[in-house]
Structure 1
Amino acid sequence: MSPSTTTVPQNLRLIGGEMLVWTDDEPAADRRPAAGPALQEVLRDLVRPGGRALVAGPHEQALISLLADAPMAVTCLVRAYPDAEALARRLPGVTVLCGSVAKLDPSDTYDLVVACDGLERLPSVEGAALSWAETADLMAGAVRPGGTLLLAQENLLGVHRLVRMSPWYGERTDADWTPLGDYDATRPASPGELVSSLAGRGLTVAEPMAGFPTAHEPSVLAPLDRLADPHLAGFVRIAVSAAYGAQLAGRPVLSDPRALAGSALRAGSAAEFAPVWLVAATRAGALIPRQRVVVADAGTVPHPVRYEVVRAEHGWSRQVLGDPTLRSRDGVYRDPAALAGPLPRGRLFEEQLIELCLRRDLPELSRVLTRYAAWLAEGADEDGTVGGVALWAAPGDLLLDGEGCTPWDPTWSTTVRAPLDVALARSLRTFAVRLITGGYSHPWPVLVDADSLVVILAGMAGHTLERPVLAAAVDLEARLRAAEHGLDEAGRERLRERLAAVTPGTPPLDLDSHRELHAANDRLREELAHAVSRVAWAEELLESREKALRHAEDKLDILSGSFSFRLGKLLIYPLRKAKGLAKRLLRR
């Protein structure tokens, strides 16, 4: 099969090794082009107006357009003909090369070479199978003196692969025409090996960056060397957890990636478990990206925000990137301008509560909850209602330090107002759902449901909650989350029903996590075993009572048939008659 010359776009060139019936864009198989606002922000630092750029491999249109609008003379290289044709038609001002990377003209060099999808999808099955080192030689050779190579390298030990349902070596989709993966001995297995490999090709790497939560669309990019700062590392851990919750919502995974990524970052192992490493490898005189942390919401978020964290005079500071326009929906709004300023300090309130529950430290847990309830009461108006950031922020949104509670993402707020007890119940219920569905151990019986746990936690904070308050808290949470995620009325009602039905056997509501699902099944087994034991105890008690009753009946039958019983009955009968006759005579 070969494409007709009359249908090939004028800006598309076939260079050899074209894969005519394949595509590297398969969202259903979780194989997508490199994408995301975070990559756009890094790439923005490397743009050279008037220069030449080579985009090698599948990349989203927004990344290519950013270079073309600079303006730069952009050339794109893709191996799949359907992808190349679609790209050439969408971007007529861009030169598109379709074929294997081995067919590139070695005399063509560029000011900027972009390979944010890695090197695995550059060789073609229609040509020689190149190793990683051979492909890297071709990419490094395309960088002219003073040029830059922006390369993303997927980590085969990354969190995203550890929680995937299918192993990388078992993939059988069109996008998986890859060489040997982990069995390619020339493929770098760490950021250090990657830097050394590029250095051997005449390129210098300033500082590798770790990308989370996925390799194809990292929304949190952080310089590895800067994560030694505990203040910054703590914030990145929170941002990474939020990114996993947003991008992997509803997808089947082996286990909750938030816990695994949090443990890796807490142990200082970001390099070992990051899904992707991003490096800007330069020749002498080239531009290098600024050293900063870039955080950007995924494109699926209804109210996306992007910002950077940079070193300031007195610590770390956040600066807003992109569109700062305030956006609102159904009483919930997000103001990106609220991010600007120093990076807040403190420990995530939810993490502290989980730790206290695991340690069974009830006095400290009561103190912390009482402190939080007091902070919430301070934000109430004279009519006793709470609104704004105080109403929106749940334990997973707050940092707790010596001075009080601070939202780590202050962009979210709401015009909705609720009574203080409803606001407290809603916040505590959010934590209770996380505690139960996450399978965390806590000081109370395993069979405590979400509402019962909220009552216990509120009591430790000095508040008594009634059942109507708990129902109102569920309605409030469903309303706020539906507005956050852009759900319609039917979606909001389904969410409310799921929130109201949280029991010890409920798996996580936001992630299709199979390990947590297995743990929920174990909790259901324990609940069933407990119910069976109670039924057995009740049956045993009932059987013993029936035996006692039968024994009493038998004894009564024996006594009623004896001679003494009959004689006594004959003597008592005349006396009863005489007593009745005497009562009638006295009434007269």
Structure 2
Amino acid sequence: MSEVQVVRGEMQPWTDRTTPRPALAALLTDAVPANRRTLILGPHAPQLIESVLAHSADVTILVRSVADAQQLGEDFGPCLQVIAGALDGLQTPPYDVIIASDGLDRVLGYDSVDLSWSERLAAVAALAAPDAVAVLGLENEFSLLNMLDSRPAAERHGDDEWRPLHDDPTRPVSVDQLRTALPWPAEVYADFASRTYVRADVAANARSGELPTRLAVAALEQPAVPLLSPAHEGLDTAARAGLLASVPTGWLAVVSPHTTQDIYTETATTVLTANQTLTGWDTTTTPAQGAPADGSLAFDPAVVPSTISSGVSVESVLFRLACAEDVPGFRKLAADLGDWVSESRVVLRWDDVVYDGESFSHGVSGWVAPEVVEKDDLLAAAWVRFHERLVGQQRRHPWPPWMVGDDLVSAWLGMSGVEAPEQVPATSPDSAPATSEQVARGKEIAAALDDVLGTRAGTVDVRTALAEAEAAKHELFELKGHVYGLERTLGFRNKAMKTRENRIRELRGQLQKLTVAHERIRGSRTYAVSRVIFHAAQVRKPKVVARKIGRRIRKR
């Protein structure tokens, strides 16, 4: 354990939360030169500190929390010099490298002078050598997540963060303002939830459905804050307007003579880097620290193409065709996809399959199944996932509202050339139709993919919640009408049954009266005489009967 040096402005008891950022570690590896005297400002994850220690000669870290400083001293020992205190209390010789990727919001203590952002930047610049390499993070107040945050401003930051919350006119709120405010010429990256870093110039030229936009949307699919509306719509709109670099969660300014990549993104247990070319993207994957995904699917970097087309995703094209109600165009694209797909271990995702107008190609998704999956199952999984994103995101489409679920997926599979199974008559009311059996395997694969991507159980935005509430209200209204109709029908039937019951009672009373009268008649002498007369009338030979009666009388 190394001894912790304490300067003015330390905070105790206190701790600052940090999260691992593999993509940022890969960026620092490319930007920071080796064997330089390095200063890390503010709280950083241990994994990030390890990547800096791996190629730096003398590393010092300044954290304002004494508890965090002691923990870092125990974890890294004498190879890391730990200082507990605030930025305004640090007085040391200049450093060759300064890393403040967390920004300048958590470098002051509660006893520090209330410095503005520009004054804090000036203090950082005073600690840098003339030719120093600097990495500076900045939270974007104009970020899309900040604008869509459903929480009031007073509830967006808690007391456990302790950061300056007052309006600071010197704080940059755009890429140009950040470049102007820095005392050095810098390359700026758009930071999307600390998972994807895209060079600002590349992000500004990216359009909806292209690789930078797809990675930005994937990084914000699981926001940590409750939103008013889905973030993907705003990102697509910003990309069409050329403003994707203006709405990330933050920026990262890199002052370095070394060449860095255009894109750094975290993908499963690997970090993917990409450089833009005239025809597409050159990609490279490197292992990153982290536990492998727990599920039936695994990420295989070997299946990620080294060169990716510069086209747009198939999903974006399908969304446009569905919104325009262009069913023939949708059917043709689905048929082309059916001809292109073949059995493989790679799980299909229409949001990652690239379409350049003539041909298709795989994107950066390297999720594979344990064994080779048949073509029909791959198509079923892709269409099931597309159905969830089309219907779940309340997008417009030309199909009737009652044609959802297995029926709609089965129709899309038919467009892709997959023949529907023969219809089997149901043996009971609970028997599933044949179409459900057709897409069952696809649902399993799609569910496994959503599990490893972490997109199954996300934060529901307010607009979606309101739409679901309105749909539930409409359904409730229809059910009330249905119940009212059933109640009226039951009322009419109840009245008819009562009428029939009264009529049956009247008939029973009349029957009882007739039965009593009949019994009275049968017991009378008149009835007996009538019966004798009746039987006598039936006699056809009276003389024979008379002789028989005479014989009996004589015998008696």
Q: TM-score, normalised by structure 1?
A: 0.74
Shift of 1:481: 4.2
Corresponding residue for residue 6 of structure 1 = none
> Which of 223, 241, 245 is equivalent to 1:267?
241
Using the TM superposition, give the Cα deviation of residue 100 of structure 1 relative to its aligned residue in structure 2, in angstroms. Answer: 1.2
Aligned to 2:329: 364
Residue 67 of structure 2 aligns with which residue?
Answer: 82
Paired residue for 2:439, among 441, 465, 473? Answer: 473
Q: Distance in 1 between matches of 2:141 and 2:164?
A: 14
> Is 1:96 paired with 2:76?
no
The answer to whether the 8 Å contact 2:8/2:90 transfers is no
Q: CA deviation at 1:419?
A: 5.5
Give 2:339's match in structure 1, choosing from 374, 379, 397. Answer: 374
Rounded to whole Å, the distance in 2 between the matches of 1:486 and 1:232 is 25
Aligned residues: 492
Opposite residue 299 of structure 2, the aligned amino acid is R
Aligned to 2:379, the other structure's residue is in SS state: helix
The residue identity in structure 2 corresponding to 1:39 is: L
In the alignment, what sits opposite 1:482? 448
Is 2:115 aligned against 1:130? Answer: yes
SS of 2:309's equivalent in the other structure is coil
Counterpart in the other structure of 1:13? 5
Following superposition, the deviation at residue 345 of structure 1 comes to 3.5
Please say if 1:527 is aligned against 2:484: no
| Pick aligned residue for 2:173 from 189, 193, 208 | 189
The match for 1:431 among 363, 367, 386 is: 386
The aligned counterpart of 2:195 is 219
1:69–1:415 Cα change, 3 Å: closer
CA distance in 1, matches of 2:56, 2:289: 24
Partner of 1:388: 345
Residues 24 and 83, structure 1, Cα contact 8 Å, conserved in 2 = yes
Partner of 2:39: 54
**Distance between the aligned counterparts of 1:536 and 1:352, measured in 2?**
45
Is it true that 1:457 corresponds to 2:412 in the alignment?
yes
Alignment of 1:340-351 (within 5 A): 340-351=305-316
**Residue pairs, 1:219-368, within 5 angstroms:** 219-230=195-206, 234-245=210-221, 248=223, 252-281=226-255, 287-297=257-267, 301=268, 304-312=269-277, 314-322=279-287, 332-368=297-333
Q: Distance in 2 between matches of 1:361 and 1:400?
A: 18
CA RMSD of aligned residues (A): 3.5
Q: Would the aligned equivalents of 1:48 and 1:111 in 2 still touch at CA under 8 Å?
A: no
Q: Structure 1 vs Structure 2: percent identity of aligned residues? A: 25
Q: 2:131 — aligned with what?
A: 146
Q: 1-side partners of 2:124 and 2:407: how far apart?
A: 60
The offset of 1:357, in angstroms, is 2.0
- Classify 1:459/1:536 alpha carbon distance in 2 versus 1 (closer, same or farther; 3 Å): farther
Matched residues in 1 for 2:207 and 2:161: separation? 40
| 1:346–1:125 distance in 2 versus 1, CA, 3 Å | same
Q: Would the aligned equivalents of 2:274 and 2:281 in 1 still touch at CA under 8 Å?
A: yes
Shift of 1:79: 0.7
| 5+ residue gaps, structure 2 | 424-432, 504-556
| Superimposed CA distance per residue, residues 93-152 of structure 1 (whole angstroms, 9 cap, x where no aligned partner) | 2111111111010x5210011110110111111222221111111011111011022101
SS state at 2:161 partner = coil
> Residue type matched to 1:388 in 2?
R
Residue identity in the other structure for 1:512: T
Q: Does 1:179 align with 2:164?
A: yes
Aligned to 1:512: 459
Residue by residue, what CA displacement relative to the aligned partner does 1:379-432 show, whole Å, maximum 9, x if unpaired? 2xxxxxx4422xx10322322334443221252222445555444333222211
Distance 1:531 1:397, change over 3 A: farther
| Cα distance in 2, alignment partners of residues 370 and 351 from structure 1 | 17
In 1, the alpha carbon distance for the partners of 2:208 and 2:466 equals 34
- Please, which of 102, 106, 131 is the counterpart of residue 117 of structure 1? 102
Q: What is the rounded CA distance, in whole Å, between the counterparts of 2:349 and 2:245 in structure 1?
A: 30
Q: Secondary structure at the match of 2:7?
A: strand
